Structure 1
């Protein structure tokens, strides 16, 4: 009886010992797994993951003749990777080369993804569509382009483009993210002269200089939307110039201070400090006040024949024309006041 009891106790002890040994093994395995995961996480966050300085919507240029080492240093210096060593190791693993060119960094990428892209020359340079609206000024273009093109320098654009105010054609363009301010100016000017060439004979037949036509067209662009209305307004304004009468157009105030017809004050109308104030200065403004469409350029070159000297637009955009000042005052009282 005693022997049976001893055997049972021994069996229970062995089972307990076995359970404890297995439990210790499971704990050890769990601790090991946690340690491995921690090391993996630490390695990723400190060596592989993109740093907090990673510049999104940015273009980085790998120059021709650059090595894996020089590229790794370039990326590290620009805050794009955390470890130059990891990049070099990954680049060697993926093929042992980097392909020169402009790489667009749209979103944050880890060092392995970058090494893979640069080994295959995957630039990520999809074109960016930009719509330059009719009537846009150089300042407005600079602000718009700065917001969508990573390498665009608005200050540089303004510096070189201001002299071409009115001669940067408004249209829909497709630019690479790496496009510079100088390249944008070249494209917009080239488009302008290509469009002008198509109507060169019509402009020549007008008997007026291209410069005067473009200035007039930039005014028409702000004054009306309909082509025939533009032609009528052009008739009024050319008629005024022909008799040495001030143009007195409100559109130039958008260029002076950004104000529209119903926001201009009497003091501003009387202020002769700006040469673009056509109430105080006779003749055309010194330059265009924006970039006109080809439609406005044609309207300026081919106005209707009339003896109108006055026009006004009501708050609904309907334009009324008059031959005399008395007629103009009556229409103003009827449709505006």
Structure 2
């Protein structure tokens, strides 16, 4: 049997203990083993903690039963709590002291679920200030921690120190804040000891911050120099050492500047780009090979590149034959005469000709690359290989012809293939004296090739084709020569087009071949023997133009 007022293993309560109370009923405490007033016996702790099945509602307990001390009849302690505190009663004001702990319940457990004493409602543990949590016997109480006057909780020996320098973990403190007060955390296992960092940590942190600031300052300076500072540059027109720089077609200012920097001409790419932006002619640098001096200022290098004197490009004029081009390449590359020509004849299929050209180059064609060394400006300098130079020229021609759509146009013009179209353009280029003549010249060719043409019966009769086969550029050719030479390129002897182009046509000649005039022209004569070409539609008109030619040349 457990003594009244004692939990298992606890010490007896002392009468002077402020929590001793009035004894529950009228201030009298039952003697050990004696039931209190009301006749209800004491429960043993081992008994099941449940309410009596015959318990009456609170309202029926008032009649003929002793009223609990400190409560007026019908007084509800829960209602008192919600109404703002203790309520007046017959004996004065409620003292706020809790009544005696119910029989057999554990003082530490306010939810023991024991039935109230006879004639008494269940004590409301939430109705008094000291009852949350419910009071414990002296033997089970722990001394309350002294709160911090500043924060209300004990910060421990590290008070006033920042968590970083004191070894604390701010993340742990933040996480613990959501789990209750610091005193509660100590109640569940005591305060977690803090680690303390020595002064070395401060020195390390300071060193890291100092290094970081220094690094930021350095890179900030570099960024400023790169974006806003003056780009490194040489001064003057350079030294006597020469440098050769190749600039490709369509190269940007940055690419040109990089090529110059790599060759030692300028000190930095940014310096050249800046100089190019300041010069109104800066964007007019052409593709080619330039001979410059080393260690030039960017402005001086740019000015020299804009001058034709510095450019070592090989410029192929419109209408030039391949024989002339081969000789110029040999000269530029300082090779033996005939080197480039021999490579062209031997490796012509490896130099990038369009497939439609390869398929239609017959055995009678004198030079498979004729008509495909496109008139333009090419960088050619010592150290390059002839085949590389030829590939650039052929590639340029193939690109231009593809843009013009020569395959589709050849069919529209009743030609056998695009290779014949290039041949027509080469004839226009060779026979026309001015660009204004080209479309008329193209019409003459197409009209003479028409089946059933009884004026010329399929003969072109062009001096340019005969001069090509002879490797010459004569104006006057004897009738005997023309009639006796059986070469397929002799259009006085053979009808139709020659086996292939007789030169390299330019853009204007190509467009004229694609879009001839439609005026009915069949004849033409260079009446001044040089630059003036006149056209005729009939043989009679042609004879008058021929007389005009003889008169002007003394023939």
Bin the TM-score by the shorter chain.
Answer: 0.5 to 0.7
Give CA deviations for 1:2-53 in whole Å, capped at 9, x if unaligned.
Answer: xxxxxxxxxxxxxxxxxxxxxxxxxxxxxxxxxxxxxxxxxxxxxxxxxxxx
Query: Does residue 170 of the first structure (1) align with residue 354 of the second (2)?
Result: no
User: How large is the Cα RMSD of the aligned pairs?
Assistant: 2.5
Aligned ranges for residues 128-167 of structure 1 at < 5 Å? Answer: 128-150=312-334, 153-154=339-340, 155-161=342-348, 162-167=367-372
2:409 corresponds to 1:203: yes
Q: Deviations over 1:304-335 (max 9, x none)?
A: 00222111112242111111111111221134
Per the alignment, in what secondary structure is the counterpart of residue 167 of structure 1? coil
Assess if the C-alpha contact under 8 Å between 1:234 and 1:299 holds in 2: yes
Mapped contact 2:444–2:521 kept (Cα < 8 A): yes
Indicate the residue corresponding to 2:508 in structure 1.
Answer: 295
Q: Does 1:222 align with 2:406?
A: no
Q: 2:322 & 2:377 partners in 1: Cα distance?
A: 16
Aligned position for 1:191: 396
- The answer to whether the 8 Å contact 2:433/2:532 transfers is no
- For structure 1, list consecutive stretches of 5 or more residues without a partner in the other structure: 1-105, 107-125
Q: 2:483 and 2:520 mapped to 1: Cα distance?
A: 27
State the partner residue of 2:386. 181
After superposition, where does 1:279-290 map in structure 2 within 5 Å? 279-290=492-503
Deviations 1:255-310 (A, max 9, x none): 11134453312221112321000001000000101111121111111110022211
Aligned residue in 1 for 2:518: 305
Partner SS, residue 173 of structure 1: strand
Report the secondary structure of 1:147's partner residue.
Answer: helix
Distance 1:180 1:283 in 2: 38
Q: Which runs of 4+ in 1 moved over 4 A?
A: 204-207
Superposed counterparts of 1:70-89, under 5 Å:
none
2:429 partner SS? helix
Higher RCO (Cα < 8 Å, 6 or more apart): 1
Contact conserved, 2:458 with 2:495, CA < 8 A, in 1?
A: yes
Aligned residues: 214
Q: Name the TM-score, length of structure 1 as normaliser.
A: 0.58
- Deviation track 1:102-127 (CA, whole Å, cap 9, x = no partner) reads xxxx9xxxxxxxxxxxxxxxxxxx97
What is the distance in 2 between the residues matched to 1:174 and 1:206?
36
TM-score w.r.t. length of structure 2: 0.36
Q: Which residue of 2 aligns with 1:8?
A: none
Query: For the structure 1 residues 302 and 148, does the alpha-carbon distance in structure 2 shift closer, same or farther, using more than 3 Å as the test?
Result: same
Q: Deviations over 1:39-84 (max 9, x none)?
A: xxxxxxxxxxxxxxxxxxxxxxxxxxxxxxxxxxxxxxxxxxxxxx
Gaps of 5+ in 2: 1-290, 292-309, 349-366
Rg larger for: 2
